[in-house]
Amino acid sequence: MLESIDMSLVDWSRGQFALTAMFHWIFVPLTLGLSFIVAFMHTIYVRTGDEEWKRITKFWMKLFGINFAIGVSTGIILEFEFGTNWSNYSWFVGDIFGAPLAIEGILAFFMESTFIAIMFFGWNKVSKRFHLTATWLTAFGASLSAIWILVANAWMQHPVGTMFNPLTARNEMTNFWEVIFSPTAVNKFLHTVTSSFLLGSIFVIGVSAWFLLRKREVLFAKRSTLVASVFGVISAIATVATGDTSARIVARNQPMKFAAMEALYEGQTHAPLVAIGVMRTDTTRLPNPRQDFIFKIEIPNALSYMVFLTPSGFIPGITDLVYGNEEQGIISYQEKIERGAVAIQTLKELKRAKERGDEVTYAALLEKFSDPKWLEGYYKHFGYGYYKGRELKELIPNVKLNFYSFHVMVILGTHFLIFTLLVLWLSLKNRWGNHKWLMWVALVTMPMPWIAHQSGWLVAEMGRQPWVVYELMPTLSAVTRLKPGAVQVTFWIFLATFTILFIAEIKILVTQIKKGPGGK
194-226 pLDDT, tens digit per residue, is: 999 999 999 999 999 999 999 888 899 999 999
pLDDT of 520: 55
The predicted-structure confidence for 335-372, as pLDDT tens digits, reads as follows 999 999 999 999 898 888 888 888 888 888 888 888 88
| pLDDT-based confidence at residue 107 (cuts at 50, 70, 90) | low
Lowest-confidence segment of 33-42, 161-170, 212-221, 266-275 by average pLDDT: 161-170
3-state secondary structure of 273: strand
pLDDT at 285: 56
**pLDDT classification of 295: cutoffs 50, 70, 90:** confident
pLDDT at 415 over 70: yes
Q: What is the mean pLDDT of residues 245-257?
A: 91
pLDDT band, residue 234 (cuts 50/70/90): very high
Instruction: Give the other-Cβ count within 10 Å of 370's Cβ.
Output: 10
pLDDT tens for residues 155-194? 889 988 888 888 888 888 888 888 889 999 999 999 999 9
Neighbours of 431 (CB within 10 A): 11
Contact 345, 384 (CB under 8 A): no
Q: What angle do CA 26, 192, 260 make, to 5 degrees?
A: 95
**pLDDT, tens digit, for every residue of 50-96?**
999 999 999 999 999 888 878 777 777 777 777 788 888 888 877 77
pLDDT-derived band at 108, boundaries 50, 70, 90? low
Closest CA to 240 of 199, 304, 277, 191: 191
287 pLDDT above the threshold of 90: no
What pLDDT was estimated at residue 69? 78
Q: How far apart are CA 147 and CA 193, in angstroms?
A: 9
Please state which of the ranges 97-111, 163-177, 242-256 shows the lowest mean pLDDT. Answer: 97-111
Q: How many CB atoms lie within 10 A of CB 45?
A: 21
* Most confident of the following: 38-47, 390-399, 483-492: 38-47
Instruction: Check residues 286 and 501 and name the one with the higher pLDDT.
Output: 501
The pLDDT of residue 288 is above 60: no
Percent of the chain whose pLDDT exceeds 90: 37
pLDDT for the residue 519: 60
The residue that leads in pLDDT, 435 or 187, is 187
pLDDT at 282 over 70: no
pLDDT at residue 112 tops 80: no
User: What pLDDT does residue 105 have?
Assistant: 67
Q: Under 8 Å CB-to-CB from 132, ≥6 apart: which residues?
A: 39, 42, 43, 46
The predicted structure's pLDDT at residue 407 = 92
Alpha carbon distance 483, 465 (integer Å): 23
Separation between Cα atoms, residue 495 and residue 84, nearest integer Å: 17
Q: What is the mean pLDDT of residues 476-482?
A: 84
Q: For residue 81, what pLDDT is reported? A: 79
Q: According to the model, what pLDDT value does residue 90 have?
A: 80
Taking residues 95-123, report their average pLDDT.
75
Exposed, middle or buried by CB within 10 Å (0-12, 13-18, 19+), for 349?
middle
Amino acid 455: pLDDT: 94
CA distance 389 to 221: 63
Instruction: Give me the chain's average pLDDT, please.
Output: 87
